[in-house]
Amino acid sequence: MKSFAQNFTKQQYKDDLQYFWQTLDENYCYFQKKHIDWQKLKPLYEAQVDTVTSRAGFVSVMERAIYELYDHHCGLHTNNAYSRRLVPTGADTWAEYKNGKPVIVEVRKDFGAEKTGVKAGMEVVAINDIPVDKAVAMFLPHTVNEESKSFALRLALNGDHGTPRKITLKSGNGFLDYYPDKDGLMLEHVTYPAFVESKMIGNIGYIKVNNYLFDNAMIAKFDSVLNTMLNAKALIIDMRETPSGGNTAVARAILGRFITKEQFYQKHELYSEEKATGVKRSWKEIVSPRGKAYTKPVAVLADHWTGSIAEGITIAFDGMKRATVIGTQLARLNGAVDGFEMPNTKIGVNIATERLYHVNGTPREFYNPAIIVDVSTQEPGNDVILHTAINFLHKKIK
């Protein structure tokens, strides 16, 4: 993301706000589910834009406006120095309000939070010495419920792009401070050794798909790895480091290697056409066989860093009955997004425009793995989701 020093006239900022508001009103497809009165909120942000004197100030107002959706799948294409990290892409913890308490639900493997001892089940007390309720209030939308509070909690907990975090947590050991960024801002510089990593675990093949599902080069790289594992008795596909989304060409390419006939893999609903005409438009998307099919047992690993198109791949494996999904809840990112650009400042914005469904009709964001794994016992260096999958497949191939 980039930031710019260029300023614009007050009218240009107002016109861009109008474009932003109308574009979301016509295209964002989850207002009803979230009980947001979008038009009622508009005057609040018109008043804020009236005070804007710089592009950076306008970006800050637009960030607060898009937080009203409490939707991690929607966001701007730009940021300021103190903008929040993207969740889940730039997050190393997933937290939610449970029974009124802010709780760490899962920790991203091999990142700062895990390395400093943060574990699932711990209660959040303070963030950079600010009591958690006050820290969350900074990002809380006007629609207040458990989902929107959990959204704001994740923004607060995962920090901005430049400030090292101090997180105070409560566990069986009392109150302790954790410093996830003490060895540097790892979340700003996420790198991988390859598009796809692989190894054999006994007679089970293991393929880890990294965060490149947006790059068509993934297709040949995945094929190359899978072709070396066609004789494996079973296969694990690890989708736990794919938070940033991608495209359906890559998704269909991967899925096409595991079937021998065409199958439906997800359902779409286009909101803008329904809003404009009153007529619902929906369709199912087909995946076709491609190359030599792997037809033996498959387990797909998923967690809160399985996001967007990776969620689509995961539910497709399940819906086509070609794999058993093992792990935790997924990122639960709403729908498919499209990008729009404000006419004056040229600030881009991604919003969810299509509702997506498992072939059985379940909204994608409500899907749960077939085998849910308790990660509260997870220790650094251990991998309870992977171990669960290995044990499951051993029983399948006996």
Q: What is the pLDDT of residues 142-160, one digit of tens each?
A: 999 999 999 999 999 999 9
The pLDDT-based confidence of 1 (bands split at 50, 70, 90) is: very low
Residue 379's pLDDT is 83
Q: What is the pLDDT of residues 97-108, one digit of tens each?
A: 999 999 999 999
Q: Is there a contact between 355 and 34 (Cβ–Cβ < 8 Å)?
A: no
CA gap 303, 93 in Å, rounded? 12
Closest CA to 94 of 117, 121, 73: 121
Residue 2's pLDDT is 44
Q: What is the pLDDT of residues 266-285, one digit of tens each?
A: 999 999 999 999 999 999 99
354 has pLDDT over 50: yes
Reported as type and span, the H/E element at residue 274 is helix 271-277
CATH superfamily of 93-183: PDZ domain (2.30.42.10)
Q: How many CB atoms lie within 10 A of CB 95?
A: 28
Residue type, 255: L
45 has pLDDT over 50: yes
CA gap 321, 307 in Å, rounded? 20
Closest CA to 312 of 378, 259, 363, 388: 363
Q: What percent of the chain has pLDDT over 90?
A: 93
Q: Which two tokens stand for residue 7?
A: 């300023």
What is the overall mean pLDDT for the chain? 95
DSSP state of 160: B
Q: What is the pTM of this model?
A: 0.95
81 has pLDDT over 90: no
Q: Which two tokens stand for residue 275?
A: 């809003």
CA gap 109, 60 in Å, rounded? 31
The pLDDT-based confidence of 398 (bands split at 50, 70, 90) is: confident
Q: What percent of the chain has pLDDT over 70?
A: 98
3 has pLDDT over 60: no
Mean pLDDT of all residues in 233-239: 98
Is the C-alpha dihedral spanning 24, 28, 31, 34 positive or negative?
Answer: negative
Q: How many Cα atoms sit within 13 Å of 295 on the Cβ side? A: 8
Residue 5's pLDDT is 53
Closest CA to 367 of 376, 357, 353, 375: 357
Cα–Cα distances (Å) from 234 to 35, 36, 54, 164, 260, in that order, read 45, 46, 57, 42, 17
Is the domain spanning 196-332+368-396 CATH 3.30.70.270? The answer is: no
CA gap 351, 395 in Å, rounded? 43
Q: Answer yes or no: same fold for 93-183 and 196-332+368-396.
A: no
Mean pLDDT of all residues in 110-132: 96
Residue extents of the structural domains in the chain? 10-76, 93-183, 196-332+368-396
